[in-house]
A and B are shown apart, each in its own frame.
Chain A
Amino acid sequence: MLDAFSRAATAADASGSFIGGTQIATLKTFVAEGNKRLDAVKAISTSASCIVTDSVAGMICENPGLTSPGGNCYSNRRMAACLRDGEIVLRYVAYALLAGDSSVLQDRCLNGLKETYAALGVPTGSMARAVAIMKACAVAHINGTNGDRGPQATNNTINLGTTAKGDCSALASEAASYFDVVSTSIS
Chain B
Amino acid sequence: MKSTITTVIAAADNAARFPSASDLESVRGSLERAAARMEAAEKLAANYDAVAQEAVDAVYKVNPQGNLGRQPRVCDTEGKDKCKRDFVHYLRLINYALVTGGTGPLDELAINGAKEVYAALSIDAATYVYGLNTLRNRGCAPRDMSAQALAEYNAALDYVANSLG
Contact = CB atoms under 8 A, between A and B. Distances in A.
Q: Do A and B bind each other?
A: yes
Interface of A: 1-3, 5-6, 8-10, 12-13, 16-21, 24, 27-28, 31-32, 34-35, 38, 41-42, 44-45, 48, 91, 94-95, 98-100, 104, 108
B19 A94 contact: yes
A34 B105 contact: no
Interface stretch (B36-44, B54-62, B142-150): B36-44
A100 B24 CA distance: 14
Contacts of B18: 44-45, 48, 91, 94
Interface stretch (B64-72, B94-102, B131-139): B94-102
B13 interface: yes
A13 B105 contact: yes
B38 A20 contact: no
Interface residues of B, number: 39
Interface string B44-59: 1110100000000000
A61 B17 CA distance: 28
Given A20-B42, A34-B28, A91 B16 contact: yes
A32 to B, nearest CB: 8
A9 B105 contact: yes
Nearest to A42: B24
B140 interface: no
B45 A19 contact: yes
Contact of A18 (B6, B45, B100): B45
B6 A3 contact: yes
Contacts of A32: 35
B1 A19 contact: no
B44 A5 contact: no
Tell me which of B28, B46, B100 has the highest count of chain A C-beta atoms within 10 A of its own C-beta.
B100
Contacts of A2: 1, 6
Tell me which of B18, B42, B45, B100 has the highest count of chain A C-beta atoms within 10 A of its own C-beta.
B18
Contacts of B20: 45
A34 B109 contact: no
Given A19-B95, A27-B34, 18 more contacts: A5-B100, A5-B101, A6-B1, A6-B105, A13-B96, A16-B92, A18-B91, A19-B41, A19-B45, A20-B45, A24-B45, A28-B35, A34-B27, A45-B19, A95-B12, A99-B6, A100-B5, A104-B9
